[in-house]
Structure 1
Amino acid sequence: MGAVRKADFYFGSMLSCLINNGLAPAIIEPGDSRRIYKLTTDNGDYQLYAKYLSSPLRRQKKDAQLWQFIFSPDEVKYIRNYQENGQKLYFVLICGREKLQDSEIAILSLDEAKDCLDVDYERESYRITIKWEKGIHGLKAYGTGRADILNGKDNTIRISRDILSYF
């Protein structure tokens, strides 16, 4: 039996959450910073592109937390060129906290991830930021291709916490 790595805890929490909701994913591409899983439900076949962060960014505010997921140009190329071929791609971003039971899981569709990343523009790095705000139901997403505030108004993508609504 090998040593247990930190990534195993975070990806394991995602798998546990999916299984507890009646879903049974299978890993098809393991990795340290990301993993790709296959999921089949009565509603179709899916691929889950999973990434994790063990803690939010350090911030002054106690009523909001941010997680910045960095995507390399190679990862963005994979996203840009992804062909669904009957399998929808979703991004599962695991947002860890010091108290692990308070961690969050954000799920974005391929189109939402492309919007946040602005995959059609070449740059050295890309990011998707997940935002938690006290008193707000759900999470928010934005990134290098989508500002959080536009013309003084909230421009984020709202993300449901109901995992089953995606599959």
Structure 2
Amino acid sequence: MNITREDFYCGAFLSYLLNNGIVPALFDERVDINRKIYDFTTDKGDFRVYVKCSESPSSESDSRGSSIWNFPFTKSQIDEIKTLKTNSRNLYFVFVCGRHALNKSKIAVIPHNVIYQCIDINRPDKYKGQSVKIRLIKGHWDFDVYGTARADKINNIDNTIKVRVNNIDELFRKEQSEKIS
């Protein structure tokens, strides 16, 4: 079996879960080894995550202290996303925002309803590229999320969707039991 770069970045997400006390009780078998879609269960519920990776920011601004990662979606990936909707699992998109210094990489966990505002899964001309962009500004608590179907600015006013940088802990971490005194 050949190991791809995507395997390493997906491994970063899975390692983060395990190393931070987020212990999935069950992983469902992947039907297609090339898909980066994982089904798992924790004490917080049943989850399906679609993982995409970018090795480095597509744009950086030292003066603003910001980095932007671009995550393109192919026609077949958009078609696949249409089939991901599920009633029994909470659906999230996980974007591994890589850096050359790997320990500076970030993981953005974005709810599906935010992604559906950033790309148009029902776009008539599905052969035109679509993408999600994740911006992180130094010192901010949130990722700025936008994409093909949602501009980052309208009339020079911020139009991005804010998603908490550390929401991965809130979403998946095991509930702490209260100590009885």
Residue 13 of structure 1 is matched in structure 2 by: 12
Residue 169 of structure 2 is matched in structure 1 by: 164
- What is the TM-score of this pair, normalised by structure 2? 0.81
CA distance in 1, matches of 2:18, 2:81: 26
CA distance in 2, matches of 1:72, 1:3: 23
Aligned AA (1:23): V
Task: Please state whether the residue corresponding to 1:113 is helix, strand or coil.
Answer: helix
Q: Select the structure of larger CA radius of gyration.
A: 2
Residue 103 of structure 2 is matched in structure 1 by: 101
RMSD, aligned α-carbons:
1.8
- Kindly provide the CA deviation profile for residues 33-82 of structure 1, in whole angstroms up to 9, marking residues without a partner as x: x50111212222111100101111144x2111111101112211222343
- What is the TM-score of this pair, normalised by structure 1? 0.88
Is there any run of 5+ residues in structure 2 with no aligned partner, and where? Answer: 173-181
- Kindly provide the CA deviation profile for residues 110-145 of structure 1, in whole angstroms up to 9, marking residues without a partner as x: 111111112222332110000011221121110001
Task: Please state whether the residue corresponding to 2:49 is helix, strand or coil.
Answer: strand
Is there any run of 5+ residues in structure 1 with no aligned partner, and where? Answer: none
CA distance in 1, matches of 2:123, 2:171: 28
What is the Cα deviation at residue 4 of structure 1? 4.2
Task: Please state whether the residue corresponding to 2:76 is helix, strand or coil.
Answer: helix
CA distance in 1, matches of 2:150, 2:170: 24
Residue 23 of structure 1 is matched in structure 2 by: 23
Matches within 5 A, 1:79-158: 79-122=81-124, 123=126, 124-158=128-162
Which has the higher relative contact order, 1 or 2, with Cα contacts under 8 A spaced 6 or more apart?
2
CA distance in 1, matches of 2:115, 2:33: 20
| Structure 2 CA distance for partners of 1:103 and 1:88, relative to 1, 3 Å | same
CA distance in 1, matches of 2:59, 2:149: 23
What is the Cα deviation at residue 152 of structure 1? 2.2
Identity, in percent, stands at 34
Task: Please state whether the residue corresponding to 1:107 is helix, strand or coil.
Answer: strand
CA distance in 2, matches of 1:4, 1:82: 25
Residue 73 of structure 1 is matched in structure 2 by: 75
Task: Please state whether the residue corresponding to 1:47 is helix, strand or coil.
Answer: strand
Q: How many residues align?
A: 163
